[in-house]
């Protein structure tokens, strides 16, 4: 799960603290999730900026619908990818997105 900022944006922030497992993340109102077929990547489209999501990041963000809490997102991803360290990595990833203001 990595993020790539477009040129001129600030570098990646350090890991944010893990969010409350009961938090129900949803995209901020000014953020759109789109798939770019040319790049073969998911994008977060923000005012005057685009963030490229790599690896499973787009599938994680798609689960941020405001209905699932962090615990539910982790359980869903753990069922899909039993060998992946989702319990450790996904909450931190979501915390970073929240810190950036892309999730609320």
Q: Dump strand ranges (E) for the chain.
A: 2-5, 32-36, 41-46, 49-54
What's the token pair of residue 8?
Answer: 């001129």
Q: Average pLDDT of the chain?
A: 89
0.75 surpassed by pTM? yes
- For the stretch 40-78, pLDDT in tens is 999 999 999 999 999 999 999 999 999 999 999 999 999
DSSP 1: -
Cα 44–28–42 angle (5° rounding)?
Answer: 15
Task: Identify whether the C-beta of residue 44 lies closer than 8 Å to the C-beta of residue 33.
Answer: yes
């Amino acid at each position: 799960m990595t993020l790539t900022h477009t040129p001129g944006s600030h570098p990646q922030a350090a890991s944010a603290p893990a969010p409350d497992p009961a938090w129900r993340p949803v995209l901020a109102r000014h953020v759109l999730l789109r798939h770019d077929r040319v790049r073969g990547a998911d994008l977060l489209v923000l005012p005057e900026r685009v963030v490229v999501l790599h690896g499973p990041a787009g599938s994680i963000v798609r689960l941020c619908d405001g209905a699932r809490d962090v615990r539910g997102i982790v359980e869903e991803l753990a069922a899909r990818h039993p060998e992946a360290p989702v319990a450790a990595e996904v909450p931190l990833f979501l915390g970073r997105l929240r810190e950036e203001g892309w999730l609320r």
